[in-house]
Amino acid sequence: MKRILIITICITISEIGLAQGQWTKKADFINVREQAIGFSIGNKGYVGCGAGYGIADTFNDFWEYNASNNTWAQKANIGVLARIGALSFNIGNKGYVGGGYIIRRTQGTIDSLYIIAFSDFWEYDVDSNYWTRRADLPTGARMWAAGFSINNSGYITCGKDATGYKNDLWEYKPDSNRWYPKTNFPGSARSRPVAFAIGNNGYVGTGFSPTGTSTNKDFWKYDPATNTWNRIKDLDSSRYLAFGFSIGNKGYVGCGISFTNYYKDFIEYNPDSDVWRQKANFGNNSNRSSTISFSIGNKGYVGLGYDSADTKYKDFWEYAPWSTGVSEIGKTEYFLLHPTLRIYPNPTTGIFIIEIKAKGKAEITVTDILGKALYVELSQKITDNFSKEINLSGAEAGLYFVKVKVGDKIYTNKIIIQ
């Protein structure tokens, strides 16, 4: 039987200096890519389609990212056509991809480029590694739309079709394989907005509009229970081609373009307080647009895209909202919330040593970020230079807090289990 070591945490994330979060570089994607699709199913991430270095370098391949061992594996190609600017989301254990476009060149006296947009819509089954064509997008070919999912439904909004920029909203129900019209997105018609879901609500904002200021910073919440939209607090700056995802009860938006300004920022949205807060800049602190993003558990993942110099990327980054700074994979560092309490190795696979310089009767506790106890030792006599090995190798990957109370003094630190 496993022992439970409980360390009581009586301080908030902001009080212990975890406000900015941490970006960690992971295994690169297969090649450079922009305007690809990305979503997650369970504990795996998926990336596909997009364009590489030119109009002839367009893909319909599909790759699975395994966060537990930081590897990529190729899966069945998406549909039958390469595409960029498609929409995607997941519903339960199925993934969905649709729309998008491809650029072709007409050869003649004067070469010219033209766009072919798509209306097809595809469902991916993880177990069979197979794509099935489903009901086409409801209004025909569409590119640069936004997709999100809530419970057992998927939603698409905005984008551009043959008639121009859109602000309609459609719900897809996989059981009936049908699209249902919903209340239009109340913001201006636009393309390339960002979207994510928190709990039972969807969030859509930013994007490019053909009139007005061209780029937008407004944000809106959609409630499917009442089929209504409500405007929430705007971002501080307008943009399009940004990325977005959610972790728990928080939403995140980052990067993108506003005219000639390319962003590298990263902002967290708290729906309880309707407040946006700046977090650690994306990845290696480079500006970026046309990235892919998704979340797995309590971490977010962002990568690919291009920067203001039109440099294209294949890098891939993991965001943990409970840490600070940026680190390379495999790098070991000490998180000294209280310098008297030392923990190493950190990060760890589960077995670590705590060292503390104190005297007296100690209570030792370890909890997760929600305060759930994993291990408790209520009566440990310690002296100067006390050390103890703790084995939490059965714990899930994530952030945990260690607290040692000696008399009326409390020493707190954190440990990351990978």
| Residue 10 banded pLDDT, cuts 50, 70, 90 | very low
Q: If you average pLDDT over residues 100-120, what whole number do you get? A: 77
| Residue 398 banded pLDDT, cuts 50, 70, 90 | confident
pLDDT surpassing 60 at residue 308: yes
Average pLDDT, the chain: 87
Weakest mean pLDDT among 59-73, 303-317, 323-337, 341-355: 323-337
The pLDDT of residue 301 is 98
Q: CA–CA separation, 322 vs 316, rounded Å?
A: 19
Q: How far is CA 7 from CA 333, 377, 382, in A?
A: 22, 8, 16
The pLDDT of residue 326 is 47
Question: Does 267 lie in the same domain as 369?
Answer: no
Weakest mean pLDDT among 70-84, 95-109, 194-208, 292-306: 95-109
pLDDT surpassing 70 at residue 213: no
Q: If you average pLDDT over residues 290-308, what whole number do you get? A: 96
Question: Does 262 lie in the same domain as 201?
Answer: yes
Domain span at 377: 1-18+326-418
The pLDDT of residue 284 is 79
Which tops the pLDDT comparison, 214 or 340?
214
The pLDDT of residue 107 is 61
| Residue 287 banded pLDDT, cuts 50, 70, 90 | very high
- CATH number of residue 385's parent domain: 2.60.40.2550
pLDDT tens, position by position, 40-52: 999 999 999 999 9
Question: Does 3 lie in the same domain as 29?
Answer: no
Closest to 173 (Cα-Cα) out of 55, 73, 91: 91
Among 291, 321, 351, where does a domain finish? 321
Q: If you average pLDDT over residues 65-89, what whole number do you get? A: 95
Among 269, 292, 321, where does a domain finish? 321
pLDDT tens, position by position, 362-393: 888 998 877 788 888 887 777 777 888 899 98
pLDDT tens, position by position, 133-186: 999 999 999 999 999 999 999 999 999 998 999 999 999 999 999 999 999 999
pLDDT tens, position by position, 12-24: 333 333 457 789 9
Weakest mean pLDDT among 8-22, 100-114, 227-241, 385-399: 8-22
In the chain, what percentage of residues exceed pLDDT 90? 63
Give the total number of structural domains in the chain: 2
Question: Does 373 lie in the same domain as 292?
Answer: no
Q: If you average pLDDT over residues 240-269, what whole number do you get? A: 95
Question: Does 207 lie in the same domain as 126?
Answer: yes
The pLDDT of residue 212 is 57
Question: Does 353 lie in the same domain as 238?
Answer: no
Question: Does 342 lie in the same domain as 315?
Answer: no
Among 299, 321, 343, where does a domain finish? 321
- CATH number of residue 310's parent domain: 2.120.10.80
Contact 203, 169 (CB under 8 A): no
Question: Does 303 lie in the same domain as 336?
Answer: no
Q: CA torsion angle for 227, 231, 234, 235 (degrees, to 10)? A: -10
Question: Does 245 lie in the same domain as 275?
Answer: yes
Question: Does 26 lie in the same domain as 12?
Answer: no
Question: Does 355 lie in the same domain as 225?
Answer: no
pLDDT tens, position by position, 333-354: 333 345 578 888 888 888 988 8
The pLDDT of residue 343 is 86
Question: Does 227 lie in the same domain as 348?
Answer: no
pLDDT surpassing 60 at residue 404: yes
**H, E, C per residue of the chain:** CCCCECCCCCCCCHHHCCCCEEEEECCCCCCCCECCEEEEECCEEEEECCECCCCCCECCCEEEEECCCCEEEEECCCCCCCCECCEEEEECCEEEEECCEEEEEECCCCCEEEEEECCCEEEEECCCCEEEEECCCCCCCCECCEEEEECCEEEEECCEECCEEECCEEEEECCCCEEEEECCCCCCCEECCEEEEECCEEEEECCECCCCCCEECCEEEEECCCCEEEEECCCCCCEECCEEEEECCEEEEECCEECCEECCCEEEEECCCCEEEECCCCCCCCCCECCEEEEECCEEEEECCECCCCCECCCEEEEECCCEEEEECCCCCCCCCCCCEEEECCCECCEEEEEECCCEEEEEEEEECCCCEEEEEEEEEECCCEEEEEECCCCCCEEEEEEEEECCEEEEEEEEEC
